[in-house]
Amino acid sequence: MPDGPKGITQLLHQSSGGNKQAFDQLIPIVYDQLHKMASRYFAAERPGHTLRTTALLNEAYLKLVESDVAWTDRVHFFAVAARVMRQILVDHARTQTREKRGGDVEKISLEQGAEVGVQAPAQLLDLDRALRRLSERDPRKSEIVELLFFGGLTYEEAAAALEISPATLHRELKMAKAWLYKELAGGSREVEA
Q: What per-residue confidence (pLDDT) applies to 20?
A: 82
Task: Assess if residue 57 is contained within a domain.
Answer: yes
Task: Assess if residue 164 is contained within a domain.
Answer: yes
Return d(Cα 89, Cα 63) in angstroms, integer.
Answer: 13
Residues in the chain: 193
- Host domain of residue 97: 4-184
Which residues of the chain register pLDDT less than 70? 1-3, 42-50, 97-121, 187-193
Task: Assess if residue 190 is contained within a domain.
Answer: no
Residue (of 94, 101, 89, 82) closest to 37 by Cα position? 82
Instruction: Concatenate the DSSP letters of all residues of 21-34 into one string.
Output: HHHHHHHHHHHHHH
Task: Assess if residue 77 is contained within a domain.
Answer: yes
Task: Assess if residue 93 is contained within a domain.
Answer: yes
For residue range 12-56, what is the model confidence (pLDDT) as tens digits?
999 888 888 888 898 889 888 888 888 877 665 555 556 788 888
Return d(Cα 26, Cα 19) in angstroms, integer.
Answer: 11
Task: Assess if residue 155 is contained within a domain.
Answer: yes
Return d(Cα 12, Cα 173) in angstroms, integer.
Answer: 28
pTM: 0.67
SS3 of residue 147 by DSSP:
helix
Q: What per-residue confidence (pLDDT) applies to 23?
A: 86
Task: Assess if residue 163 is contained within a domain.
Answer: yes
The domain tally of the chain equals 1
Return d(Cα 8, Cα 27) in angstroms, integer.
Answer: 10
Task: Assess if residue 19 is contained within a domain.
Answer: yes
